[in-house]
Amino acid sequence: MTKDRAASLLFLCAGIYGFYFSVQLPMGRWNEPGPGVFPFALSLLLLVSGAAWFIRGKRRVKEEGEGENADRYAFIKNLATPLKIVGLTALLILAFNSVGYLAAASLYIFVLLFWVSRYRVVVSILLALSIGIGSWYFFEKVLAVQLPRGVLFL
Amino acid sequence: MDVINNLYIGFQTALTFQNLYLCFIGCLWGTMVGILPGIGPVAGITLLIPATFGLSATSALIMLAGIYYGAMYGGSTTSILMNVPGESASVVTCIDGYQMTLKGRGGAALFISAWGSWVGGTVSVIGLMLLTPVLADLAVKLGPAEMFAILLLCFILLASLGSGSFFDTIPVILIGLLVCLVGIDSQSGVQRFTHGITDLYDGIGFLPVGMGALGIAEVLRSTEESLVRTVSKVRLRELLPTRQELRSSLGPIIRGSGLGFVIGLLPGSAHILSSFLSYALEKKIARNPEEFGTGRIEGVAGPETANNAASGSALIPLLALGIPTGNAPAVMMIALLIHGVRPGPLLISESPEIFWGLVASMYIGNLVLIILNLPLVGLFVKLLRIPFRILFPIIILVCLVGTYSIKGSTFELGVLLFFGLLGYVLRKLKYDVPPLILALIVGRTMELSFRQSLMRSGGSFSIFWESPVAMGLILVSFFLISWNIYRALRPQKASWEKALEEG
């Protein structure tokens, strides 16, 4: 799939979503436009953009041929690290309230440093504890941010 | 006289111990984020937003503005010494700046860059001080039709002048506008796109979207790159430029100040565009243009002055009209909204201490920056030795806690991550992300203006061409759309268009 077509799918999905839910909203009249008018118009424009990009993407595949394959390989290869980070951050968010900031953040930093940054275990543990405790002190004590304490009351 | 009196009040506000300290911290942090590749001014500002929660809106704005123009100063250091732009506006400085370093004149390039940045920054503050109140007075007289036309033109300009192509940017703006409509409609009370989720009733927060799409996305993109670098050492005595270098840089600094100030008023990547245009201008009028790229001081002085002048004037539309024209002003607007202050035509009359305090602090900040940037350059360069693989988990953690601290909701953290991923994907697909944030911020005003216009005219679209201002702005918008369609269909592009795209 080319970049244009990937983008077109994103725009089409957003357009379909907006269109489907905006038609369910009151449209009002021209002298008193309802809450559905603006999102309806935006969704239509998004659908048109998405369709145009899909066609452009198809044309580019024909024009550029194999050159696109190397690009695509590099594109996917580069995704590995960011996806690891996103996945770990999602887990941190899920555990944020129940585990508590100090434990969850320290564990999160440890896994990032060990798995993504490729530090040794001991270095990762030391850095994770320093960053975890340091950031907790800075946010909770210096900036007075109310952080979750979780089941461990940390 | 009014200006002098107001400026006096501004200096009284800015010269309090707390505000001076915050201005210094902002400039210092801004220089640091400008130097560190991977953290631009936007991420730098967003990271410090949580730290401003206990401050007044004036103090918060003084500190955040310090980060903004501090990053512009700092961005040139890595461009000159390492051929790595600290932030996007300094890309063009790499060309001649790094060549000067290779010739042993890196110190002089840094001096001229800091000097030009000071002149450009000061010129833009003078313009900001004189132009913003006039523009705000005019804006108060505008009705909803004119407001709609201004915002329409703003988006069209954003798409035309941004770093992406016009037709690539328009869908991103549309997504931003659609996202801003989530929540309860203020006019009818109807819920839109909330799906019964109570966290969405107030709409999607600007901060998680801004921090996600700009901050987290930038970090994710930076983790793709190798961060092994070599840094050149600079000694203090090498900082002094020769008389010839000083004389050669005078013209580019004057031209860069004017050009940067005007370009900064336009929506889009104004500071980037201004530095490229300044470089192109200097090359065009040079006696020996072929020497550009081999270490000419004009290639450093002009662009660095222009991007600093542009960053100052970019605050004019934000403060006078409430329209952020770039990503850093957008994040500053988010910070002000969190503090309960809405930038716009009424800001100067309702909260003069905020505006004049900011203006005065910018004069002080520019002085602080020139003092910070010259003698301490060696110290700042040492920052580059902090490995990014340690820095990025800390940046993500700060973004998460910053978002959590507003509402104490993990839902907002989900929004942050979602928009971080969306911003990253859009960047990977070579789309411009800042227009999404700008659309999100001003989208509701645009919708409200559109609906109020139609209500006022009894449903007639003639309201948009009965007012000469609205009609003029809409005509310009249509002209720009037609021009962009023509550009897209035309097989050959002009040389300057190619140069801009390559840049």
Which tens digits make up the pLDDT trace of B110-149?
A: 888 888 888 998 999 899 888 888 888 888 788 889 889 9
Whether residues A7 and B431 touch (CB distance < 8 A) is answered with: yes
Measured between alpha carbons, how far is residue A50 from residues A53, B14, B168, B179 in Å?
Answer: 5, 49, 10, 17
Residue A63 has pLDDT above 70, yes or no: no
Enumerate the domain spans of chain A. Answer: 3-77, 80-142
| Tokens linked to B37 | 């590749």
Higher pLDDT, B286 or A36: A36
Enumerate the domain spans of chain B. Answer: 2-502
C-alpha closest to that of B72 among B125, B21, B22, B20: B125
Whether residues B425 and A10 touch (CB distance < 8 A) is answered with: yes
Tell me whether B68 touches chain A (CB under 8 Å).
no
- Residue B44 is predicted with a pLDDT of 75
Whether residues B413 and A109 touch (CB distance < 8 A) is answered with: no
Torsion of CA A34, A38, A43, A46, to 10 degrees: 170
Amino acid at B56: S
Closest residue on chain A to B410 (Cα): A93
**SS3 label, residue A149:** coil
Of the ranges B90-104, B228-242, B303-317, the best mean pLDDT one: B303-317
Query: Residue A33: beta bridge partners?
Result: A28
User: What is the C-alpha to C-alpha distance for residues B341 and B106, in angstroms, rounded to an integer?
Assistant: 43
H-run or E-run covering B106 = helix B106-140
User: What is the C-alpha to C-alpha distance for residues A34 and A17, in angstroms, rounded to an integer?
Assistant: 19
User: What is the C-alpha to C-alpha distance for residues B489 and B482, in angstroms, rounded to an integer?
Assistant: 11
Alpha helix segments (H runs only) across B141-230: 144-161, 166-180, 206-210, 217-222
Residue B419 has pLDDT above 90, yes or no: yes
| Pick from A112-116, B143-147, B344-348, B370-374: least confident | B370-374
Query: Residue B184: beta bridge partners?
Result: B191
Whether residues A39 and B193 touch (CB distance < 8 A) is answered with: yes
| Chain B residues 381-440 with CB within 8 Å of chain A | 387, 389-390, 392-394, 396-398, 400-401, 404-405, 408, 410, 413-414, 417, 420-421, 424-426, 428-431
pLDDT per residue as tens digits for the range B356-412: 888 888 888 888 888 877 777 777 767 767 777 888 888 888 888 888 887 888 899
| Chain B residues 34-53 with CB within 8 Å of chain A | 50-51, 53
Longest Cα separation, chain B? 72
Note the residue count of chain A. 154
Amino acid at A135: S
Residue B332 has pLDDT above 50, yes or no: yes
Which residues, 6+ apart, have CB-to-CB distance to B148 below 8 Å?
A: B446, B449, B450, B453, B464, B470
Closest residue on chain B to A127 (Cα): B390
Whether residues B193 and A21 touch (CB distance < 8 A) is answered with: yes
Tell me whether B462 touches chain A (CB under 8 Å).
no
- Cβ-contact B161, B273 below 8 angstroms: yes
Residue B191, phi then psi, degrees to nearest 5: -80, 135
H-run or E-run covering B136 = helix B106-140
Tell me whether B175 touches chain A (CB under 8 Å).
yes
Tell me whether B183 touches chain A (CB under 8 Å).
no
User: What is the C-alpha to C-alpha distance for residues B210 and B206, in angstroms, rounded to an integer?
Assistant: 6
Chain B nearest CA to A134, separation (Å):
11
Tell me, rounded to whole angstroms, the distance of Cα B278 from its chain centroid: 18
HSE at residue B264, side-chain half, CA atoms within 13 A, is 34
- For residue A140, the tally of other CB atoms under 10 A from its CB is 16
Smallest Cβ–Cβ distance between A42 and the set B178, B394, B397 belongs to B178
Residues in chain A with CB shorter than 8 Å from the CB of B156 are none
The answer to pTM > 0.90 is no
Residues in chain A with CB shorter than 8 Å from the CB of B397 are 105, 108-109, 131, 135
Closest residue on chain B to A75 (Cα): B428
B62-85 average pLDDT score: 79
| Chain A residues 82-101 with CB within 8 Å of chain B | 82, 85-86, 89-90, 92-94, 96-97, 101
